[in-house]
A and B are shown apart, each in its own frame.
Chain A
């Protein structure tokens, strides 16, 4: 086990962690407002493909990122319209969104498969810091989206815990009818949370095609959207804990292709089951503890709200 390969492992851990964190933060926002969105995988795919297309056509990575976030938000709004607006089943609508997103991404990206990227977000050099041993490459030489993920984590955490908007948003997820009585628009809060969540999932997808694997291919998201859904539970709906979880799960993704240099004879496929198995374990622990203290899940998660039915 060389130092270089160990550093490489940690660099990839942070990088994959940021990828998962962005998508998971989006899911957390939607779930905090009471909407389960199982369309993360589809929204990531749409973000990934639109970012790549804009990159190829306009050569501007920032425009690509912006369009990816916008596309993610638009796709998420389809889910918002049906579940929040029309009160459709969130599970069914979310899964359809995944199917729709993967289909649309394949349709849009058909002519872009295998093309070289037109724009990339390359690692940032932080004067002085990037040359530090260990922490330099691991923390101070990452792609800009990694820092965006960190910023978003802090922002989401701050908005949810310390602002009126965040309070209203959480209230919409805990008890829609009392939020309504308090004069807030449950519809507006939930729709915005879902759309914002979609934008974050789109950004996560963009990170794939602008930095991690700067190419487009069908199935590029490879089930990472499901890890994001798992992360929200793993982190007990708290932005900070979800961040820690993202690093752990990101580590398993990073390890997957890097076991060989460490001389470990262990199937990377078995390792890739770890995030899901860990999440299952956490779910069990949460529910066993729930007998003593309340579950961290938003109380109104999954429940549609119609004023006349309260």
Chain B
């Protein structure tokens, strides 16, 4: 019997990752067409609406950019940890911790001048995210506790912390007993650049550039990538793994926290339990599609932002916004599949025995 088997290519296909990404996108679009047809919609009409609403004019671009900012920062957070082979699944919670810290500063600094207030809010957000990541970082660095589960668990703790705050101590007395935090003071809001695109774009871009350079071109980043590819090599070359793990995970949390602060100050009126809106989880997909490279995160985040904004816009056409959620998952699954085929080729084995013989060829 001839069985299909994956065999490593000597050279990955040229242009592998962009190609895989494009293929994933294509697969997602095809799946989307099928879903829309099944629900009795006209796919072309829906897609052109999605495109118009997300990239059609400057206002649309502004919406997409505002969405890409938290996605890009969350993706960067995951990618920073990922360049060292660590998984920060807690960006969702760290975003909320950052938003809580920023909201707290806005509460006490309501009468500070805008620029100082915003700066303090963002610094606090960085701290908030870092603090939430500190526990998992210490546990991983000192005790070897797997950071996937610890960061994942803290997501659930952080969202409940936000819920508790807005149901309890931070509930707005003027909210007619609705669980709402008070509105942010006006000077706590980030200025806009064009249309409604806010200043967070420059902050996110700057952080992404700095992180990309740091990971790609500095000795620190080099050590990081070595530690990511082989712990043993890192140890032999005298890199202190536990210190590295600690800094990288805390930095990762800090960047996610910044995303929360920027989101609060840039687009939200107040602290809400949907302040993160799944950005942390989407950020993991963004980072994975960017192959954990900080430099690739921005492009993927823009695309995901466009898909999300486009997905919201088609609700007015009677299409469930869940279509865009499904599309996002399929972009990733499509890209994973395509990525595998860019590195492996399918060979048909006559039987299992011959595949063992072939081992030496691979």
Report Cα–Cα, A306/B359, bound state, in Å.
11
Q: Answer yes or no: B26 CB below 8 A from chain A CBs.
A: no
In the complex the two chains form, is B333's CB within 8 Å of A287's CB?
A: no
Interface residues of B in 135-183 (CB under 8 A from A): 135, 139, 143-146, 148-150, 152-157, 159-161, 163-164, 167-168
Q: Answer yes or no: A167 CB below 8 A from chain B CBs.
A: no
Report Cα–Cα, A229/B320, bound state, in Å.
29
Q: Which residues of B contact A91 (CB under 8 A)?
A: 87, 89, 148, 284
Number of interface residues of B (CB under 8 A): 52
Residue ID in chain A nearest B93 by CB atoms: A276
Report Cα–Cα, A78/B149, bound state, in Å.
22
In the complex the two chains form, is B320's CB within 8 Å of A96's CB?
A: no
In the complex the two chains form, is B340's CB within 8 Å of A87's CB?
A: yes
Main DSSP-derived SS at the B contact region:
helix
Binding site for B on A (CB under 8 A): 36, 38, 78, 82, 86-89, 91-93, 95-100, 102-107, 110, 218, 223, 226, 229-230, 233, 267, 269-270, 272-273, 276-277, 279-280, 283-284, 287-288, 290, 297, 306-309
In the complex the two chains form, is B325's CB within 8 Å of A229's CB?
A: no
Q: Which among B168, B326, B337, B340 has the highest number of chain A CB atoms within 10 Å?
A: B326
Cβ of B92 to closest chain A Cβ, rounded Å: 10
Main DSSP-derived SS at the A contact region:
helix
Q: Which residues of A contact B242 (CB under 8 A)?
A: none
Contacting A38 at CB < 8 Å: which of B135, B152, B164, B333? B152
Cβ of B149 to closest chain A Cβ, rounded Å: 6
Report Cα–Cα, A283/B136, bound state, in Å.
11
Contacting A107 at CB < 8 Å: which of B168, B281, B326, B336? B326
Report Cα–Cα, A80/B333, bound state, in Å.
12
Residue ID in chain B nearest A79 by CB atoms: B333
In the complex the two chains form, is B164's CB within 8 Å of A230's CB?
A: no
Cβ of B308 to closest chain A Cβ, rounded Å: 12
Q: Which among A89, A233, A280 has the highest number of chain B CB atoms within 10 Å?
A: A280
Report Cα–Cα, A308/B359, bound state, in Å.
6
Q: Answer yes or no: B133 CB below 8 A from chain A CBs.
A: no
In the complex the two chains form, is A287's CB within 8 Å of B144's CB?
A: yes
Q: Which residues of B contact A110 (CB under 8 A)?
A: 320, 322
Q: Answer yes or no: B102 CB below 8 A from chain A CBs.
A: no
Known: A87-B340, A276-B157. A283 touches B150 (CB 8 A): yes
Q: Which residues of B contact A272 (CB under 8 A)?
A: 160
Residue ID in chain A nearest B165 by CB atoms: A269
Q: Answer yes or no: B330 CB below 8 A from chain A CBs.
A: yes
Q: Which residues of B contact A100 (CB under 8 A)?
A: 325-326, 329-330, 333
Q: Answer yes or no: B332 CB below 8 A from chain A CBs.
A: yes
Report Cα–Cα, A103/B329, bound state, in Å.
9
Q: Answer yes or no: B239 CB below 8 A from chain A CBs.
A: no
In the complex the two chains form, is A269's CB within 8 Å of B149's CB?
A: no
Q: Answer yes or no: B285 CB below 8 A from chain A CBs.
A: yes
Q: Which residues of B contact A223 (CB under 8 A)?
A: 156, 159
Known: A92-B336, A290-B144. A269 touches B167 (CB 8 A): yes
Contacting A102 at CB < 8 Å: which of B135, B161, B282, B325? B325
Report Cα–Cα, A233/B332, bound state, in Å.
28
Q: Answer yes or no: B267 CB below 8 A from chain A CBs.
A: no
In the complex the two chains form, is B285's CB within 8 Å of A95's CB?
A: yes
In the complex the two chains form, is B7's CB within 8 Å of A92's CB?
A: no
Q: Answer yes or no: B206 CB below 8 A from chain A CBs.
A: no
Q: Answer yes or no: B117 CB below 8 A from chain A CBs.
A: no
Cβ of B20 to closest chain A Cβ, rounded Å: 11
Q: Answer yes or no: B252 CB below 8 A from chain A CBs.
A: no
Those 3 A-B pairs whose CB atoms lie nearest each other, nearest first:
A103-B325, A100-B329, A106-B322
For this complex, 29 residue pairs linking A to B, each with C-beta atoms less than 8 Å apart, are A86-B340, A87-B6, A88-B336, A88-B340, A89-B288, A89-B336, A91-B87, A91-B89, A92-B285, A92-B288, A93-B333, A95-B284, A99-B278, A100-B329, A103-B322, A103-B324, A103-B328, A106-B322, A106-B325, A229-B149, A229-B152, A230-B153, A267-B167, A267-B168, A269-B160, A269-B163, A276-B156, A283-B146, A284-B143
Cβ of A273 to closest chain B Cβ, rounded Å: 5
Q: Which residues of A contact B324 (CB under 8 A)?
A: 103
Q: Which residues of B contact A309 (CB under 8 A)?
A: 8
Cβ of A265 to closest chain B Cβ, rounded Å: 11
